Chains A and B, each alone.
Chain A
Amino acid sequence: MSIELVKVSQQIQGNEVLSGINLSFQRGGFYGIIGPNGVGKSTLLQLLAGTAQPVSGSVMLNGGEMSEIPRKHLARKLAVLQQGGLPPAGFTVREVVGMGRFPYQSWLGGEEDDPSSIIDEALEAMGLSGLQQRRLVQLSGGERQRVALAKLMVQQPSILLLDEPTTYLDIGYQIALLDIVKSWQRQKNLLVIAVLHDLNLAALYCDELIALHDGKVASKGEPAEVLTEQLIRELYGTGALIVSHPLTGAPQIMLQPGL
């Protein structure tokens, strides 16, 4: 499993958001995409998900054009955790998690093998077994995000795209969510690509970071190579101290007031 971007450019309402991006992502890697607001991180993720087509260049999945893969086949390989999470719908937790099986269903909505054990497993893994008959409207934001992740597990993808998965979650939920993703990734050798706002979380969880700036890749590599004081100033226009995490050694950013 690999995704490759070749000279990809994308426009939004006539403005060039990404220009001539070349990137490649390999199975088993945990990639983080960072950059300031409005730099095209989510646009890039939509291209990787195949839900948008670039104005020029090509997005390849395992060496073939992604746009030529039927949508349901693509959804068996690649799952996306959407920014903002699930809406407060009237469906129960179990029904929503079961929707993750859609790519495997025939037009009548059935599958050859009963998917209920797969659904049970995902509910168990996300600690949702006790909530499975609750309706989405009755859950908190953090619980809904867990439902969204359980739905992705049921999809049994080999590539996982996360669009700012920790936004609106408290630090407890942020760590819990990324821990689950990390252990799932190791267990199934997934390719994970996450858009992350929090640079410290990105440095703790990702094998490789890709910094976007002005529609181009400003820097990429291991977190310690990418997160430098100079790059932070270039990307975000603010000064920062970089220290080493006392336990893991990952680079961590100490912000400083501009006064």
Chain B
Amino acid sequence: MLLLAVSIVASLSIGSAGISFADVWGILLHQLPWLSDQGHGWSQGEVAVVTQVRLSRVLLAVLVGACLALAGAGFQGVLRNPLADPYTLGVASGSSVGAAFIILFGLQFAIGIWTIPLVAFLTGITALLAVIALSRSRGVMGIETLILSGVIIQAFLGAFVSLMVSMSQGVINQILFWIMGSLALRSWSHVYMVLPFLAIGLPVLFFYSQSLNLLVLGERHAANLGVRVEKTKLVVLIFSTLLTAAAVSVSGVIGFVGLVIPHLIRLLLGPDYRLLIPLSAIGGGIFMLWADTLARTALSPKELPLGVITALVGAPVFAWMLNRRMRGERGDGQ
């Protein structure tokens, strides 16, 4: 939590407009009503950069990161598969189809700035419903059929995206750039769109964290201890999907966060979902914030795709931690 606060402060102060650290804080503090009437030495433009551009983007990065890491923990808990991530069951592919379609036909502003987020959100959810329908028989969802159905839907929808990319030369970059993920040119309204999903999704998943712990022992063990296995699986899947779809619809497909952050927390603190759920959200927020800060400053003023940064930075860190952990375990055994 403390690390998250420090990261937000630091990231706010870094940027291409070259506003000093002290001024950033002066501007922010002056937004508080009881401090607003003192004299100051910064311009209206600087105020706008900090409050309209940077602050909303920083908060959005934290929210998107938290949603993805939280959803990743949820998917890994239900699917009991270390390779599961928020995109395993086809949510991202569904969203990509929707977004690619909109971009291809130039409908980005058909119903205002909400067009892409709304369509991407709906098509993402639809993809998951298709996966669940495919894998449910007699009210029971088998884990293997669930993952296989996800792979099938993903491949099918992926082909659609490729088709749309190939159909139009002119907008290829736009579609690809959306798919690679970015937080550029987002506003406060995007923050408000993601926030309610996190505010509801986090407590719901936390409510099921002890059930997810018992699921680690296997579905039968959990059922015998009084867990309602099918209900737990369905609710956690649905809320993880809502979190994923919300994040993807505003930021595009940012990989790696949802896969790796829950694993990092597990490596550091063990497998207890009562810790894993809240700390994945915080860890995902911090990680995404720094990735986005790097994305907008590394080759400033050019923006880098966020999905590229998360994988480029995240993969080596994860490999290093995994390696250190394995050495530690060998040491324990002796």
| A contact residues vs B (CB 8 Å cutoff) | 49, 51, 71-76, 79-80, 82, 86-87, 89-92, 95-96, 99-100, 102-103, 105, 107, 109, 138, 155
Contact = CB atoms under 8 A, between A and B. Distances in A.
Nearest to B223: A51
6 contacts: A79-B224, A92-B270, A100-B225, A102-B227, A105-B210, A155-B225
B274 A75 contact: no
Contacts of B214: 99, 102
Interface string B212-232: 011011101101111110000
Contact of A99 (B225, B270, B333): B225
Given A91-B270, A91-B272, A86 B217 contact: yes
Contacts of B224: 49, 51, 75, 79-80, 82
Of the listed residues B221, B225, B228, the one surrounded by the most CB atoms of chain A closer than 10 A to its CB is B225
B315 to A, nearest CB: 22
Contacts of A73: 226
Secondary structure of the B contact surface, majority rule: helix
A195 B104 CA distance: 63
A73 B225 CA distance: 10
B217 A71 contact: no
A87 B217 contact: yes
B221 A86 contact: yes
A99 B217 contact: yes
Given A99-B213, A105-B210, A138-B333, A75 B225 contact: yes
Nearest to B224: A80
Contact of A87 (B218, B223, B228): B218
Contacts of A49: 224
Contacts of A72: 226
Contact of B210 (A75, A86, A102): A102
Given A75-B224, A87-B217, A92-B270, 14 more contacts: A51-B224, A73-B226, A82-B221, A86-B217, A86-B218, A89-B271, A90-B270, A91-B213, A91-B270, A91-B272, A96-B217, A105-B210, A109-B209, A138-B332
Contacts of A80: 220, 224
Contacts of A107: 207
Interface in B73-119: none
B274 A71 contact: no
Contacts of A109: 209-210, 274
B218 A82 contact: yes
B186 interface: no
Contact of A74 (B216, B226, B266, B272): B226
Given A102-B210, A105-B210, A109-B274, A89 B217 contact: yes
Interface residues of B, number: 23
B217 A102 contact: no
Nearest to B266: A90
Nearest to B213: A99
A82 B214 CA distance: 14
Contacts of A76: 226
Contacts of A89: 216-217, 271
A132 to B, nearest CB: 14
A42 to B, nearest CB: 10
B95 to A, nearest CB: 32
B272 A95 contact: yes
Interface string B265-281: 01000111010000000
A102 B216 CA distance: 14
Interface string B238-273: 000000000000000000000000000010001110
Nearest to A78: B224
Nearest to B220: A82
A88 to B, nearest CB: 11
A71 B228 contact: yes
A74 to B, nearest CB: 7
A99 B271 CA distance: 13
B49 to A, nearest CB: 44
B249 to A, nearest CB: 30
Given A90-B270, A95-B272, A102-B210, A71 B216 contact: no
A195 to B, nearest CB: 14
A55 to B, nearest CB: 12
Contacts of A99: 213-214, 217, 225
Contacts of A95: 272
B39 to A, nearest CB: 50
Nearest to A109: B210
B330 to A, nearest CB: 12
A91 B226 contact: no
B38 to A, nearest CB: 45
B142 to A, nearest CB: 13
A96 B226 CA distance: 15
B305 to A, nearest CB: 34
A76 B226 CA distance: 8
A147 B224 CA distance: 16
A139 B79 CA distance: 24
Contacts of B226: 71-76, 102-103
Contacts of B227: 71, 102
Contacts of B218: 82, 86-87
Contacts of A91: 213, 216, 270-272
Contacts of B266: 90
B215 to A, nearest CB: 10
